[in-house]
């Protein structure tokens, strides 16, 4: 197994919370049940990862195998991504095509690879008649970056496709043209990105400038790499009551007020990283949250200065 593939699989497994690891590995279906039974999932995660990498090396895992594992992880955590919804439409008088999944995948991959030399495309079909497409982009002179992919979810014989937001916006028109060429449909993308689209009037596209600002701040704060595994962070607040009103019972209290706040998640840092892009929180997040990796601790005491 190539070293880059081993590193790719290692990084993906490290992202997976321990309580989901067995489920995702079984869905991957690359390692057999007997092989998984040889792994002690109760030991430290670093040891689990090393054992799994060894098993993948024995089976000579390919880049496509690693990409499929990443797709499955993304399917489990699709709520952490921001998705753009697009509508394609046939030209006047054109009938709906009978959908052939094999032909679609071959055509989609060939069109992209003709347009861009260095690109890897992986597919995974689901029971909902959808195909998940993972695209790792390179340039004419650089290999595909497996850690900044674009995901597309396409439901066969429907006019809708869902694309994950990506910092590599220069490739968005190429992706739209690929759908256009395969489907003989109107181009797939918003007008603000330089292409035409017949958007459903009920779909409201969020402010592009604000989304780019949030993505930039999130990238500057958390980086492009997977976040360290952390399941909780605890904050203990101690502060004296302050008020302009005299005679308050709390104002006479000498002991500080104490409050304990705990954030918990199977992958807390990844969850925090996704808050602003998902529109749940404003960017930038509070330094009390973003300082966790730099301070290398998850217990904090907040006191009056």
In a domain, residue 70? The reply is yes
- 38 with 118, same domain: the answer is no
Within a domain: 108? yes
Q: Which residues contact 178 (CB under 8 A, 6 or more apart)?
A: 108, 111, 112, 115
Domain co-membership, 70 together with 140: no
Q: Is residue 293 part of a domain?
A: no
Q: 198-212, 252-266, 267-281: which range is least confident on average?
A: 198-212
Q: Where are the alpha helices (DSSP H) in the chain?
A: 3-15, 18-28, 33-37, 45-58, 63-76, 101-115, 172-183, 208-222, 268-275, 287-290, 292-295
| pLDDT above 70: residue 196 | no
Q: What is the C-alpha separation between 68 and 126, in angstroms, rounded?
A: 12
The runs of H, that is alpha helices, within 116-191 are: 172-183
Query: Is the per-residue pLDDT at 190 higher than 60?
Result: no
In a domain, 109, yes or no: yes
Task: pLDDT band for 7, please (50, 70, 90 cuts).
Answer: very high
Residue 121 has pLDDT above 90, yes or no: yes
Q: Per-residue pLDDT for 248 more than 70?
A: no
CA Rg value for the chain: 24
Q: How confident is the model at residue 223 (pLDDT cuts 50, 70, 90)?
A: confident
Q: Both 121 and 71 in a single domain?
A: no
Residue at 300 is within a domain: no
Both 89 and 114 in one domain: the answer is yes
Is the pLDDT higher at 191 or at 206? 206
172 inside domain: yes
Higher pLDDT, 129 or 150: 150
The residue among 227, 213, 217 whose CA lies nearest residue 271 is 227
Confidence band (pLDDT; 50, 70, 90) for 113? confident
Question: Can you give the pLDDT at residue 226?
Answer: 84
Name the domain boundary from 78, 96, 128: 78
pLDDT (mean) for 29-52: 94
Q: How sure is the predictor about 179, in pLDDT bands with cuts at 50, 70 and 90?
A: low
Same domain, yes or no: 31 and 103: no
140 and 65 inside one domain: no
pTM: 0.58
Domain shared by 89 and 166, yes or no: yes
Q: How far is residue 109's CA from residue 104's CA, in Å, rounded to a whole number?
A: 8
Whether cis (ω within 30° of 0) applies to the bond prior to 44 is no
3-class secondary structure, 109: helix
How confident is the model at residue 203, as a pLDDT? 41
Same domain? 258 vs 237:
yes
- Residue 246 clears pLDDT 80, i.e. is over it: no
**Predicted pLDDT at 180:** 55
Question: Of 47, 78, 109, which marks where a domain is finished?
Answer: 78
Residues 25 and 70 grouped into a single domain: yes
Q: Is residue 236 part of a domain?
A: yes
pLDDT of 195: 29
Range of the domain at 101: 83-179
Q: Could you say which of 56, 78, 100 is where a domain stops?
A: 78
Residue 225 confidence (pLDDT) above 50: yes
User: What's the pLDDT score for residue 241?
Assistant: 76
Domain count, the chain: 3
Both 90 and 66 in one domain: the answer is no
For residue 6, being part of any structural domain is answered with yes
Q: How confident is the model at residue 132 (pLDDT cuts 50, 70, 90)?
A: very high
Between CA 82 and CA 160 the distance in angstroms is: 16
130 and 151 housed in the same domain: yes
Give the residue-averaged pLDDT of 20-36. Answer: 95
> Could you report the per-residue pLDDT of 226-245, keeping only the tens digit for each?
888 888 999 998 888 776 66
Greatest mean pLDDT among 36-45, 75-84, 195-204 lies in 36-45
**Phi, psi for residue 210 in degrees, rounded to 5:** -65, -40
One domain, residues 139 and 56? no
Q: What pLDDT sits at residue 255?
A: 82
């Amino acid at each position: 197994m190539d070293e880059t593939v081993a590193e790719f699989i290692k990084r993906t497994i490290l992202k997976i919370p321990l309580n989901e690891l067995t489920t995702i590995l079984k869905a991957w279906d690359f390692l057999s049940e007997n092989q998984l039974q040889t792994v002690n999932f109760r030991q430290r995660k670093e040891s689990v990862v090393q054992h799994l990498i060894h098993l993948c090396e024995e089976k000579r895992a390919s880049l496509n195998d690693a990409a499929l594992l990443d797709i499955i992880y993304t399917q489990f955590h699709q709520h952490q991504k921001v998705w753009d919804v697009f509508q394609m439409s046939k030209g006047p008088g054109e009938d709906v095509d009978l959908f052939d999944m094999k032909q679609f995948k071959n055509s989609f991959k060939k069109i992209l690879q003709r347009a861009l030399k260095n690109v890897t495309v992986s597919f995974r079909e689901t029971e909902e008649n959808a195909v998940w497409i993972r695209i790792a982009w390179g340039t004419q002179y650089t290999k595909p970056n497996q850690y900044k992919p674009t995901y597309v979810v396409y439901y066969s014989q429907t006019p809708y496709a869902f694309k994950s937001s990506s910092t590599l916006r220069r490739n968005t028109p190429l992706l739209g043209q690929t759908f256009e060429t395969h489907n003989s449909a109107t181009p797939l993308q918003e007008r603000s990105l330089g292409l035409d689209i017949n958007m459903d009037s009920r779909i409201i596209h969020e402010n592009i400038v604000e989304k780019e600002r949030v993505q930039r701040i999130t990238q500057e704060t958390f980086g492009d790499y997977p976040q360290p595994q952390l399941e909780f962070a605890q904050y203990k607040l101690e502060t004296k009551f302050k008020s302009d009103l005299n005679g308050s019972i709390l104002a006479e209290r000498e002991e500080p007020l104490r409050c304990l706040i705990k954030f918990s998640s199977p992958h807390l840092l990844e969850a925090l990283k996704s808050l602003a892009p998902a529109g749940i929180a404003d960017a930038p997040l509070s330094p009390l949250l973003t300082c966790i990796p730099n301070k290398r601790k998850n217990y904090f005491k907040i006191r009056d200065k």
